[in-house]
Amino acid sequence: MYKNLTAIILAIVSYTTVAAEANVIKIDPVFEEITGAASRNLSPGQRLTQWVFLEAPAGKRHLVSVKYDTNAPDYSTMDCQVYIYTESNELLKKLNCRTDGEFYFETPITMNLEKYKVKISAYNSDFTSGRERKWFTGKFDFTFGNSNHVDNDYLPMWWKSSYDLIGADSILDYDGDGFSIAEEYFGGSNPISVDSFPAHKPLLETSEKFSVGTSLSVYPLKPMTEWVKIKPDNNKRIQFIDMEVEVSDNAKRQSIRAFVYNENNDRIGTGYFYYSGNDLASQRRLILDEPIQVEELNIKIIGSHYGFSNQRVQYNVKFNTVFVK
């Protein structure tokens, strides 16, 4: 599917009582492959379940493909399945490894996490009179691509490298099929083949929105400080930030102040967020004169309560940010 998708074995992380192996060769700047192998002699009706815990290599968070090579095709009664989960056990993909093959995730790649949980399941369903035990062996390669962006566009390095497009402008129609390189990525087609193109013009987003929030319980005359962090994926230029505040019904003479910093602890903008009053909800916006390049935002929130009762006040604070290309 991808032109130059050649991966290098990096490591394996597995947890099971069955055999497992790993081989570290070198680190490739574009692709890295985490490889797991397992085997077990299965009686009829016996199932092998092996968990592989994957941690995406630094800078290579896109899970591009899964390749499986097993001996299941040698047996008509051997079943093989691969389940890919998030850390919180949300099923992302189920693959049938009954036959050998390689599965490529469609672009734009949504498999963009730091950690994955993978369950490999094999089952011997041979209940014939012989009821022979059968060895299952399998090798599973999980290829991660460099998710950093090059050429100041939305497109990840691994994808442009796969088609020898590093340095090419994303608005260029490289293969003459009427679709730009960027449209081919977001449309899931081959940008260097005139016979491969999206079914329709993809709607390309030119901004990204992130939201993060926290809660503070503040006692009178005892200010409380919390920090929240926002780390954009693709666009790195912050355009504006909204602050939304909700307070409990017993809130009186309260205030919220928030200051925004970059990854180097430098203040962003000359102003700061300020909420005060008895309204149950309020919204403030910090608008920048021009978008500012950042790797991450760190927001310092200070909640104060100037009442004289011993009741604490509950603040729910949420920040909505917009990053642009």
| Residue 58 contacts residue 132 (beta carbons within 8 Å) | no
pLDDT per position as a tens digit, 214-255: 888 888 888 899 999 988 876 678 878 888 888 776 656 678
Number of H helices, E strands in the chain: 2, 18
**Per-residue pLDDT tens digits of the chain, which is 325 residues long:** 676 554 332 332 322 333 333 333 344 688 999 998 888 999 989 999 999 999 998 889 899 999 999 988 777 888 999 999 988 888 989 999 988 889 998 888 877 888 999 999 999 988 876 678 888 999 999 999 998 877 767 688 899 999 999 988 888 899 999 998 988 988 889 999 999 988 877 766 566 778 888 888 888 888 899 999 988 876 678 878 888 888 776 656 678 889 999 999 999 877 788 887 655 445 577 777 778 889 889 999 998 887 766 778 888 888 888 887 6
Work out the burial of residue 38: count CB atoms within 10 Å of its CB; fewer than 13 is exposed, 13-18 middle, 19 or more buried: buried
Q: Where are the domains of the chain?
A: 9-145, 207-324
| CA 32 and chain centroid, separation | 16
Nearest to 116 by CA among 150, 148, 140, 151: 140
9-145 shares its CATH topology with 207-324: yes
Question: What is the Cα–Cα distance from 105 to 111, expressed in whole angstroms?
Answer: 8
| CA 7 and chain centroid, separation | 20
Nearest to 62 by CA among 94, 91, 30: 30
Task: Name residue, tokens 């901004």.
Answer: 207
- Here the tokens at position 38 are 């397992």
Q: Which residues pair with 100 in a beta bridge?
A: none
Peptide bond into 57 cis (omega under 30): no
Question: What is the Cα–Cα distance from 136 to 134, expressed in whole angstroms?
Answer: 6
Question: What is the Cα–Cα distance from 145 to 60, expressed in whole angstroms?
Answer: 5
Cα torsion through 227, 232, 235, 236, rounded to 10: 40
What's the CATH number for 9-145? Answer: 2.60.120.380
Q: Which of the four CATH numbers 2.60.120.660, 1.10.3720.10, 3.40.190.10, 3.90.550.10 does domain 207-324 have?
A: 2.60.120.660
What would you report as the CA-atom Rg of the chain, rounded to the nearest whole angstrom? 26
